[in-house]
């Protein structure tokens, strides 16, 4: 591992710190659920717009239009041109919790 210091003593390494965002992704044909890794201090959209044609998804589940899990994989490389929409899990609201009434 390479470590560099600037004149003020700040440490720089080639390791990029990221955190995982569990997300639901709709592609042109299927839905995918899994973790997308985002650089610290950035948003999910920043990762998608970073210019790469593919995005890594870990602990991925590919789900058919009928809700059946077709494939599970530890790693999936997804072509960003195929993404229709994406929702981070912490943004999903439960219909029942919003309504407050089950009747």
Residues 6+ apart with CB under 8 A from 18: 37, 38, 39, 40
pLDDT in tens, 41-59: 888 888 888 878 999 999 9
**pTM above the 0.85 mark?**
no
Alpha carbon 96 to its chain's center? 25
CATH topology of domain 16-89: SH3 type barrels. (2.30.30)
pLDDT tens, residue by residue, 8-20: 777 666 677 888 9
Higher-pLDDT residue of 83, 11:
83
Q: Round to whole Å and give the CA distance between 69 and 51.
A: 30
Locate the domains of the chain by residue range: 16-89
pLDDT score, position 47: 86
| Whole-number Å distance between alpha carbons of 97 and 100 | 5
CB within 8 Å of 81: residues ≥ 6 apart: 53
Contact in structure between 61 and 69 (CB atoms under 8 Å): yes
Q: How many CA atoms lie within 13 A of 77 on its CB side?
A: 3
Asked whether residue 1 carries a pLDDT value surpassing 60, the answer given is no
């Amino acid at each position: 591992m390479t470590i560099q210091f600037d004149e003020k003593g700040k440490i720089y390494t080639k390791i990029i710190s990221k955190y995982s965002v569990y997300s639901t992704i709709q592609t042109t044909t299927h839905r995918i659920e899994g973790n997308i890794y985002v650089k610290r201090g950035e948003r999910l959209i920043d990762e998608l717009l970073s210019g790469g044609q593919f995005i890594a998804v870990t602990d991925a589940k590919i789900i058919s239009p009928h809700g059946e899990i077709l494939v599970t994989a530890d790693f999936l490389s997804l072509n960003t041109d195929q993404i229709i929409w994406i929702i981070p899990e912490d943004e999903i609201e439960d219909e029942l919790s919003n309504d407050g009434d089950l009747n």
